[in-house]
Structure 1
């Protein structure tokens, strides 16, 4: 019997001890279940298909998150960047690919993969011994008799792992997804080329001092090599950029199609100038590998990317993403997937019950704290009804039953 439905009861952190407190199975049973294979990507893909209407604008998002972990023997333990503390720390890292409903501003995780360690540990140094020249000559002669050593392949970088994760998940993305949004860490030539090869377009962020070139559109000389560029992009002079519009008071949007030297391709940039704070000017430089994309849509899609940060926040605070009591890679994978899939199902179930009869799905804000309280209250009331042998129909039809279910939730 699969224990996964019990994990979906969000009444505590997703670890063996807390799960056993609210079910009939023991901690050992859950620990054994975590070694079993389960198609989380297939479940998440089907859930996204049911939760997101076909007419909605959908984009893909990829990001990684730091997982604090104590000990020395856990799989994947390495030094990763911890954004909450703005520094590199020792722990675990997961890469998450999510599907975001732009209009509803709601994200669903599709796939999660743990980032392997690039430095598994320091190798022990052999003890130095004194050897004779005769022994050294014998070793050299034997080495010369050996066949040539094949070239060692270059070690995989973390960008390679992120790209492999996207390749593995590409077929499970909804057909409506044409854009993959990521933060500035993914603005690398290898990753951009890999995303485009998967029939997707990347939207990401660049440094404000990125090496860009204007494209030459003037008349070419009759002889010689064709002229490609028309000078370096200088954001101190915005006269050569195309003004789009004033998004709001003090927030101006410019755009242009330029050549990125490091990415080695044409890109469309969206340059935001923020003068809303007196005496301070903020800038943001976004880009898309799709040169035909509207600059306003690029900004809208990049703003929607922040929904994946809410996924990390809710999973860490309410579904025990950081509370894995295991060091085994298979159990860690099951734990991370179970935590994020639990969050998906909570969002979908909350979406099915609008707070008002005429409310639309997109107008109902989602609160994982409220949903967790609802789930706990339901579970506790069911225990009271069962243990006290009460009539469930009589209890649930009482006008104050809904008040008990919503006790302690966040006011809308």
Structure 2
């Protein structure tokens, strides 16, 4: 997308760190770049060709004051556990079971509910479906597994993404209405009429172990849990699904599911729990200045949502390769202090001995740690 920016609002500090004026950066940003494709390439390079990848989506709340900003409205904040006034972005990431990490692919700003309802005659769920549809071709080039939290486990959304070519992995509420599939009984007398398609309702307090299969799931920390899996019918989703029941002491069991009934239950649990890695990507947006944006236009906000995640991917790549022992905050501090030291050295107009430079860098690394 070719975009034009207000240089002062979009690119704060670029003269100080980039050595160029904000106008120069804004002119270069007019060039059309497919940032989603760039991030998908980084994900493929990081994870490699494997079948343990999935695409995760998650809406994220961003604080924003004022009344003239595009899309400002009332959205759910997971941190505050209530609806707050601000902005919302739909974050998209690629997760890997083997590496247990997430590469952020991008983000798109959500319009406020009033705009959707009055101008587009859409609900928020309709908007999320339209967003996934617009990115489906690019995402399917990476993987055909889509993971989302329990909010998206609705017939309209699940049916739509399956039609796009995805296999959906999600979670159900503990009171979900599930039915056993009808088991043919050869000894029963033949009767007229349609054969029975479904059996009794699944009672999670007393599972039919002639249908369910038990297995031991071991998470990344070595904790083991006895879980149960079976193919059942979901009345809400109107389809057969593979359900995985994970008991929880003194609480309702956790119900994970996949629309792919042949998917291994360990992968269903793994994909859903690894989905949480996208939360860390959203959390780390604080290190790439997403929260401090000043632009108010819709196009600027959308692109401003993508840049921090691309910068985050590049930062994480360099961080993992060079200083994996540091946190991202420590890595950012180290990069800033190294930049500060090099600025001081270049400003002095002298070329210190290489051993002195190494000593300074070593001291900065100690400060960051």
Class of the TM-score when normalised by the shorter of the 2 chains? 0.7 to 0.9
Correspondent of 1:294 among 227, 243, 264? 264
The CA distance in 1 between the partners of 2:165 and 2:320, in whole Å, is: 31
Instruction: Identify the range of structure 1 (368-377 vs 78-87) with the bigger mean alpha-carbon deviation.
Output: 368-377
Aligned: 1:165 with 2:135 = no
Correspondent of 2:362 among 392, 403, 409? 403
Partner of 1:45: 40
The CA distance in 2 between the partners of 1:69 and 1:35, in whole Å, is: 26
Instruction: Identify the range of structure 1 (182-191 vs 235-244) with the bigger mean alpha-carbon deviation.
Output: 235-244
Q: Using CA pairs below 8 Å that are at least 6 residues apart, which structure has the higher relative contact order?
A: 1
Cα deviations by residue, 1:336-387 (Å, 9 ceiling, x for unpaired) = 111111101111222333x5xxxxxxxx467321221222122112212211
Partner of 2:293: 324
Correspondent of 2:225 among 242, 251, 257? 251
Partner of 1:84: 79
Higher helix share: 2
Partner of 1:142: none
Kept in 2, the 8 Å contact 1:208–1:284? The answer is: yes
Partner of 1:180: 146
Kept in 2, the 8 Å contact 1:56–1:103? The answer is: no
The CA distance in 2 between the partners of 1:366 and 1:252, in whole Å, is: 35
Aligned: 1:268 with 2:242 = yes
Kept in 2, the 8 Å contact 1:181–1:203? The answer is: yes
Aligned: 1:367 with 2:327 = yes
Mind listing any 5+ residue stretches in structure 1 that lack a counterpart? 8-13, 124-152, 356-363
Kept in 1, the 8 Å contact 2:91–2:282? The answer is: no
The CA distance in 2 between the partners of 1:159 and 1:387, in whole Å, is: 55
For the aligned residue pairs, the C-alpha RMSD in angstroms reads 2.9
Instruction: Identify the range of structure 1 (370-379 vs 46-55) with the bigger mean alpha-carbon deviation.
Output: 46-55
Correspondent of 2:109 among 114, 126, 129? 114
Please state how far the C-alpha of 1:289 moved relative to its aligned partner: 0.5
Partner of 1:69: 64
Q: Which residues in structure 2 correspond to 1:379-394 (within 5 Å)?
A: 379-391=339-351, 394=353
Please state how far the C-alpha of 1:262 moved relative to its aligned partner: 1.1
Please state how far the C-alpha of 1:156 moved relative to its aligned partner: 1.6
Instruction: Identify the range of structure 1 (26-35 vs 223-232) with the bigger mean alpha-carbon deviation.
Output: 26-35
Kept in 1, the 8 Å contact 2:56–2:278? The answer is: yes
Please state how far the C-alpha of 1:21 moved relative to its aligned partner: 3.5
Please state how far the C-alpha of 1:404 moved relative to its aligned partner: 3.2
Correspondent of 2:309 among 340, 344, 347? 340
Kept in 1, the 8 Å contact 2:241–2:258? The answer is: yes
The CA distance in 1 between the partners of 2:223 and 2:38, in whole Å, is: 44
Kept in 2, the 8 Å contact 1:76–1:117? The answer is: yes
Partner of 2:284: 314
Cα deviations by residue, 1:119-177 (Å, 9 ceiling, x for unpaired) = 14999xxxxxxxxxxxxxxxxxxxxxxxxxxxxx9822222222222222222236452
The CA distance in 2 between the partners of 1:35 and 1:75, in whole Å, is: 21
Specify the SS of the correspondent of 2:67. Answer: coil
The CA distance in 1 between the partners of 2:84 and 2:170, in whole Å, is: 25
Partner of 1:144: none
Please state how far the C-alpha of 1:250 moved relative to its aligned partner: 7.5
The CA distance in 1 between the partners of 2:355 and 2:307, in whole Å, is: 31
Kept in 2, the 8 Å contact 1:373–1:406? The answer is: no
Specify the SS of the correspondent of 2:334. Answer: helix
Please state how far the C-alpha of 1:54 moved relative to its aligned partner: 2.4
Please state how far the C-alpha of 1:397 moved relative to its aligned partner: 7.5
Partner of 1:132: none
Kept in 1, the 8 Å contact 2:319–2:328? The answer is: no
Cα separation, partners in 2 of 1:195 and 1:122, compared to 1, 3 Å: closer
Cα separation, partners in 2 of 1:168 and 1:365, compared to 1, 3 Å: farther
Partner of 2:336: 376
Specify the SS of the correspondent of 1:238. Answer: coil
- TM-score normalised by structure 1 residue count: 0.78
Mind listing any 5+ residue stretches in structure 2 that lack a counterpart? none
Please state how far the C-alpha of 1:330 moved relative to its aligned partner: 1.2
Aligned: 1:103 with 2:98 = yes
The CA distance in 1 between the partners of 2:269 and 2:257, in whole Å, is: 9
Instruction: Identify the range of structure 1 (371-380 vs 235-244) with the bigger mean alpha-carbon deviation.
Output: 235-244
Specify the SS of the correspondent of 1:180. Answer: strand
Cα separation, partners in 2 of 1:50 and 1:242, compared to 1, 3 Å: closer
